[in-house]
Structure 1
Amino acid sequence: MEQQGEEYILIISTLVIVVVIVFLVVLFSVFQRRKNTLLQDRDAQKKRFEREIAETQIEIREETLRNISWELHDNIGQLLTLAKIQLQQYNDDSLNDISETISKSLVEIRSLSKLINPEFINNITLQEALALEIERFNRLNYIESSLKIVGNKKEINQKHGIIIFRMLQEFFSNTIKHAKATHLEVVLDFINDKEIRIIAKDNGIGFDANSLKFNGIGIQNIKTRAALINATTKIVSIPGKGTELKINYYIEKELVPHL
């Protein structure tokens, strides 16, 4: 009887051990599958993020080349034409005018050279890019523009800055081409160590939030790109009173692209 009891205990113990081992194997298998799934998702997110960065850089370069083309034709071309006419009508009194015209042309060419530099997009900060864009709008009389910096400047992820800049370019393009606005205001507010708020608003004609225009491809691009960098966006437009884009970017999450 005693031997049978020991055998019974041994069988029970063996079964318990087998069950525990099977449970651990299953648990490990489930954990490993979940881990692999998370790694695959993370890798897919990273690839989508990098693809979006590449597409954004291409779009910015294309926008930059369009701007250069317009400036060469509408601005520098006119200045050089004026200088040529002044030279043809040269006299001692017109020398200062000729010199001033040529000086303006040189200033414009230097401004363009910054944009032509292939490292411009990769190395420039968000604040510097916005300052150059606002300066260009004012210099070319596209629209009266202003940039206000609030709070203590914080460094942000360079790639995220590129995406934010492109989101704002979408807004600027709509303002200049469609809004019939006379003023554009941009505020870069470093709220604290973890959050930056960017506000861009114009005094244009605005549009109805229920219209197809409100959900157009430009606005959808802004929302999609905001999600990539863990930012939130809010677009408010009132017919006759203008449009406002508000972007809240959270610095503490910048190292983890999210879709």
Structure 2
Amino acid sequence: MDEKEIQSFLIISSVVLFILIITMISLFILFQKRKNALILKNKFAEKHFEQEISKAQIEIREETFRNISWELHDNIGQLLTLAKIQLQNDSPVNEVKGTLDKCIKELRDLSKLISPDALKNMSLEQAVADEINRFNRLNFIESQLIIKGQQTKIDSKIEIVFFRILQEFFSNTIKHAKATHLDILLDYQTDMLIITAEDNGLGFDIKKQKGSGIGLNNIKNRAKLVNANATILSKPNKGTKLTITYKLNHESTYSSDC
């Protein structure tokens, strides 16, 4: 190979090497940009998730304190009024004592709800059970909770979301559905938790709701936030059924799509 051919080879090699270096630098810069964009997206999703959890916690507390206020005014207030009337009418001591005992029991039950630790540390099963017991105790609606399978511990933040969704459904059932019965099922399967809540109320035409009324979009979006799926089936005069499906042992507790 003569000197001219060597020079040409060196020039071509230099150009190829230069192109390779530029290509590698460009790919690295592109990779870093995508990596940074993904990090920002995940940080935004995590921040959004925490904001939604805080919002759900606040709404649960507001609902709880509304219930406490109602019970103090109507339920316990009525019991104390009854005890006063019994005393004024010289009713037997045992009758007055029975009324006051019931009043004390109601106050003790309410004190558990007021405790910040109770609101913070309560499991999904216990929170739902307490709601159902309250409905039955105050004759709001005939309710029952069934738990199937081996209970699996899930993230407390996810439990908060599920409980808030159920609270919304319960509120709609009691206030608007004119239902007489409410059934809740927590079904722990091998790799899936299926939560169903069903009433026998008025129901509604889902096609005409367009996301209003029971808050279909809100329920679905909250479920999506924790990688769960929520569906609502309802027909006029046929009741309403909410189903939440959640795959157990998720790698993350929030969805980056929200």
Which residue is equivalent to 1:79? 79
Structure 1 residue runs without a partner (length 5+): none
Give the AA of the match of 2:18: V
Show the 5 A alignment for 1:1-259.
2-90=2-90, 94-192=92-190, 194-212=191-209, 215-216=212-213, 218-253=215-250, 255-258=252-255, 259=258
SS at match of 1:205: coil
Moved more, 10-19 or 45-54: 10-19
Counterpart CA distance in 1 for 2:61 and 2:21 is 59
Deviations 1:103-142 (A, max 9, x none): 1111111111111111233211111100000000001110
Find the aligned partners of 2:110 and 2:66 in 1 and give their Cα distance. 12
Does the 8 Å contact 2:203/2:238 carry over to 1? yes
Task: Give the Cα separation in 1 of the matches to 2:231 and 2:14.
Answer: 63
Aligned pair in 2 of structure 1 residues 57, 255: CA closer, same or farther (>3 Å)?
Answer: same
- What RMSD in Å do the two structures reach over aligned CA positions? 1.4
Amino acid in the other structure paired with 1:112: L
Tell me which amino acid in the other structure corresponds to 1:153: Q
User: Structure 1 residues 78 and 169, CA, compared in 2 at 3 Å: closer, same or farther?
Assistant: same
Distance 2:198 2:251 in 1: 25
Q: Please state how far the C-alpha of 1:223 moved relative to its aligned partner.
A: 0.9
The 3-state SS of whatever aligns with 2:249 is helix
Deviation, 1:90, is 3.2
Inter-CA distance 248–127: structure 2 relative to 1 (3 Å threshold): same
8 Å Cα contact 2:197/2:241 also seen in 1: yes
Q: Please give the alpha-carbon distance, in whole angstroms, between the structure 1 residues aligned to 2:42 and 2:141.
A: 43
**How far apart, in 2, do the equivalents of 1:254 and 1:140 lie?**
41
User: Following TM superposition, by how much is the alpha carbon of 1:213 offset from its aligned partner in structure 2, in angstroms?
Assistant: 6.9
Unaligned runs of 5+ in 2: none
Aligned residue pairs total: 256
CA 1:136 to 1:217, structure 2 compared with 1: closer, same or farther past 3 Å? Answer: closer
AA aligned to 1:60 is I
Q: Distance in 2 between matches of 1:34 and 1:4?
A: 45
What's the TM-score once normalised by structure 1's chain length?
0.95
* Whole-angstrom distance in 2 between the partners of 1:216 and 1:36: 41
Q: Flag the 1:214–1:32 CA change in 2: closer, same or farther, 3 A.
A: closer
Shift of 1:153: 0.2
Provide the C-alpha distance between the structure 2 equivalents of 1:254 and 1:207, rounded to a whole number of angstroms: 37
- Separation of aligned partners in 1, 2:251 and 2:101: 43
**Contact 2:169/2:214 (CA < 8 Å) preserved in 1?**
no
Counterpart residue type for residue 16 of structure 2: V
